[in-house]
Amino acid sequence: MSSIKEIAKKAGVSVSTVSRALNNYTDVNQNTRKKIIQIAQELNYFPSAVARSLVTKRSYTIGLFFGDQVNSGFDHPFFLEVLSAVRKVAGDAGYDLLIFTNLHKKKATYTTLCRERGVDGLFLILTGDGKRKNEQLIELQESGIPCVAIDLPLDGERCSYVESNNFLGAKKAVSYLIKLGHRKIALIGGDEVGKVSFDRLNGYRAALIEAGLEYDPQLVRYGCYSADQAKEATEALVSENRDVTAILAVSDVMAIGAIQRLTELGWSVPDDISVVGFDDIREASTNKPSLTTVRQCKYEMGSEAIRLLMKTIEDVSYRPSPVVIPCELIVRDSTAPPRFQK
């Protein structure tokens, strides 16, 4: 409401003096500064971020993009914790967050939306379909806009990404199953396009190979990170391979779906079959049986990602590189040695 101009008038100085006084410039008399600050407080003055960012080209705002499927992002249990970290770390550093929700402009792209809103950088959390908008991503990578993504391999001078060590995570899980005595281990994978799914698949294969076990494509199905599709995949899998004794589902949501369907089909988990998830969402520990899973350190992913972004924003010459966060195997009740161990 009140502006720098009013303060100037009341203080009997020029607006530039007020501006300098309020921005802690050294070249302003202590007394005039005091007077100005005093008046500013009386007037309950706060500078207009809008006007300021128009001239400084800095908004102290970070844009947030969620995947374009309905309700993704907010509803996804994994991304929530990431966001929680972003919120905390960005806030502590003086940034606010702008969620792009108005996506109905005709030819708008990530890049144009960022320029339009004047955000300092962009935080991308894309799921499924979102990842396929390649033209837009290429434009973004070349735009020079500081940008960081979760689980999406961005590559540009000022773009980077954060992901879990999906390869080692999956490998760890399968190695654990092997150590328990399992030999016929199936995979409910994600999709056949994303790097994340790809890395987890490879981790699964690597563990098998390392143990001298055969990799059998027949034991690999895809659930697209959906509980329902995982149920179908699981049912098909076990009906065609009744000797499977363990399953790695590469998301907890899929693992829980798999357990549900297995139970319906008369399989007991972990007595008849072991199931391992991926993510360690809250339901993993409250599920019955509680879920052995590969924990992604979501908070750390979020905080590392936002730090990377802020550093990129604040240092024009900084060239970010990808950050890989270790996973941890959390053993709970959904895994056990196979029933008919030799």
Partner DNA sequence: TTGTATGCGTTATCAC
Partner DNA sequence: GTGATAACGCATACAA
Q: Which does 132 bind (CB under 5 to 8 A by kind): DNA, its own copies, none?
A: none
Find, among 23, 90, 86, 100, the residue nearest to 60 by Cα: 90
d(CA 48, CA 12): 21
CA distances from 152 to 68, 79, 133, 155, 166 (A): 14, 13, 12, 9, 12
Q: Exposed/middle/buried for 3, CB within 10 Å: 0-12, 13-18, 19+?
A: middle
By C-beta, is 26 or 41 nearer to DNA?
Answer: 26
Does 3 sit near DNA (CB under 7 A)?
Answer: yes
Residue range at the interface with DNA (CB under 7 A); choices 25-33, 77-85, 248-256, 331-339: 25-33
Q: Which does 56 bind (CB under 5 to 8 A by kind): DNA, its own copies, none?
A: DNA
Q: Which residues sit at the interface with its own copies, rule CB under 8 A?
A: 1, 41, 44, 46-51, 53-54, 59-61, 64, 70-71, 73-75, 80-81, 83-84, 87-88, 90-104, 107-108, 112-113, 115-118, 256, 282-283, 286-288
**Ramachandran bin of 262, using left for φ above 0, alpha for ψ from -120 to 50, beta for the remaining angles:** alpha
Q: Do the Cβ atoms of 200 and 189 come closer than 8 Å?
A: yes
Which two three-digit tokens encode residue 101? 């929700």
Residue with tokens 């399992």: 182
Q: Which does 20 bind (CB under 5 to 8 A by kind): its own copies, DNA, none?
A: DNA
d(CA 329, CA 295): 6
Q: Please count the CA atoms within 13 angstroms of the CA of 54 that sit on its side-chain side.
A: 5
Q: Which does 100 bind (CB under 5 to 8 A by kind): DNA, its own copies, none?
A: its own copies
Residue range at the interface with DNA (CB under 7 A); choices 49-57, 146-154, 211-219, 284-292: 49-57
As measured in angstroms, the least distance from the Cβ of 49 to its own copies is 5
As measured in angstroms, the least distance from the Cβ of 139 to its own copies is 10
Does 10 sit near DNA (CB under 7 A)?
Answer: no
d(CA 196, CA 188): 13
Q: Which does 282 bind (CB under 5 to 8 A by kind): DNA, its own copies, none?
A: its own copies
Residue type at position 198 = F
Residues 51-110 that bind DNA (CB under 7 A): 51-52, 54-56
By C-beta, is 71 or 317 nearer to its own copies?
Answer: 71
- Residues forming contacts to DNA in the complex (CB under 7 A) are 3-5, 12-17, 19-20, 22-23, 26-33, 45-48, 51-52, 54-56
